[in-house]
Amino acid sequence: MTTVTLRSAAPTTSAPMPYAKRLKLFTGRANPQIAKAIARQLNIDLTPVTLKTFSNGEVYCRLEESVREADVFIVQPTCPNPEVGLSTNDALMELMVMIDAAVAASAHRVIAVMPWYAYSRQDKQSAPREPISARMIARMLESAGANRVMTMDLHAGQIQGMFKIPVDHITAMRLLADRVAEFHSGEPLVVVAPDAGRVKLNKSFAKCLHADLAILDKERPRHQVAEVGHVIGDVRDKSAVIVDDIIDTAGTLCAAAEAVMKAGAARVYATATHPLLTGRAYDNLRAAPFEDIVVTDTVTLRPDALANLHVVSCAEMLADSIRQVFSGGSISESFGAESYQS
């Protein structure tokens, strides 16, 4: 019988081998179309993952390739996708289990790419004993093991301060402004802020279009209900562009359009980053006087979209951000300081 003695290798003074970085891009089921578009921009394939929902509602996830020491980017806006039976909360939970799976599989870093950040409108207490749900989501992401979050046009920029990990806050402002400029018919432009809280965003948008600025006097007596008073500023005989971050039920947006037209605007357009379009949104928008409505693809849209609804993709912006984060580049240099205005 031959005995083999295993000895420890002699100590070495050479430097450790350099870390060979790898990028793995995953998508959840909330909006796989934008993840595929991002993958095309990066010239890579999506990494396979198995995702399903059990009959009791629990979400299952299995990463189908090794992610050890890789930078894992998980694209999952926390929006519903009726085609696969996914609710907002399902999408959020699916993101959490995907992050946990990547952490357990020894990923080097896990970056949550959330073009739409659910619960962002619950960023403060408006009445006693209310939760600050946007902060709770931040804590959940951190607890799950995310090392970084990438998102677009937060409802309130201060949500970034609720995180202890880096947040890359990207805006679609320039993208939307360029598309609106293509559509407008030549009259003088005026950008209309739907409320006082959107003034800073709308000033930046107006600067992009070399347009004037007006503000709507709006009150919100209860959740998802808004009352538009009057227009502060001159919109007469101008093409008015109402700029917001979200179109939800579209009730506020349509009331704003009516107020602007009554104030003498020649035409009215609308633009927003996140077209949630819940409830009676489609019916409301069909009945509104909008020439065109310009949105992005941060969330999944119904296939029977409106004829005047134009979708521009933010995949290139997100892909460039992913490339910069992966390579250690600068997102602010890539998009300019305006990327962080909200």
- Domain containing residue 137: CATH number: 3.40.50.2020
Q: Answer whether residue 17 is part of any domain.
A: no
Tell me: do 181 and 125 sit in the same domain: no
On whether both 141 and 195 belong to a single domain, the answer is: no
If we measure between CA atoms, which residue out of 23, 13, 9, 78 comes closest to residue 327?
23
Say if 13 falls within a structural domain.
Answer: no
Please indicate, yes or no, whether residues 192 and 145 belong to a single structural domain of this protein. Answer: no
- The whole-number pLDDT of residue 10 equals 41
Catalytic residue among 164, 200, 207, 218: 218
For residues 174 and 30, the model is more confident at 30
28 & 160 share domain: yes
Same domain (yes/no): 167, 27:
yes
Do both 264 and 325 map to the same domain? no
Active site residue 218: yes
In a shared domain, residues 161 and 224: no
326 and 238 part of one domain: no
Does residue 8 form part of some domain?
no
Q: Are residues 142 and 185 in the same domain?
A: no
- Report the residue count for the chain: 342
Least confident stretch, 166-180, 188-202, 220-234, 239-253? 220-234
Same domain, 164 and 179: no
DSSP category for residue 16: P
229 falls in which pLDDT band (50, 70, 90)? low
Q: Residue 287 pLDDT > 50, yes or no?
A: yes
Q: Are residues 165 and 35 in the same domain?
A: yes
CA atoms within 13 A on the CB side of 298: 33
Establish if 9 belongs to a structural domain. no
* Residue 11 covered by a domain: no
Residues in CB range of 254: below 8 A, 6 or more apart? 284, 285, 287, 288
In a domain, 85, yes or no: yes
DSSP 181-216: HHH--SSPEEEEESSGGGHHHHHHHHHHHT-EEEEE
**Does 76 have pLDDT greater than 60?**
yes
Considering the domain architecture, whether residues 309 and 179 belong to the same structural domain is answered as yes
Overall domain count for the chain = 2
Average pLDDT over residues 75-88: 95
Long-range contacts for 205-213 (Cβ within 8 Å, ≥24 apart)? Answer: 205/173, 205/176, 205/177, 205/241, 205/243, 208/173, 208/174, 208/177, 208/178, 209/177, 209/180, 209/181, 209/241, 211/241, 212/188, 212/238
CA 191 to each of CA 151, 203, 303: distance values in angstroms, whole numbers, following the listed order: 24, 8, 29
The pLDDT value given to residue 331: 83
Range of the structural domain that residue 302 is part of: 173-313
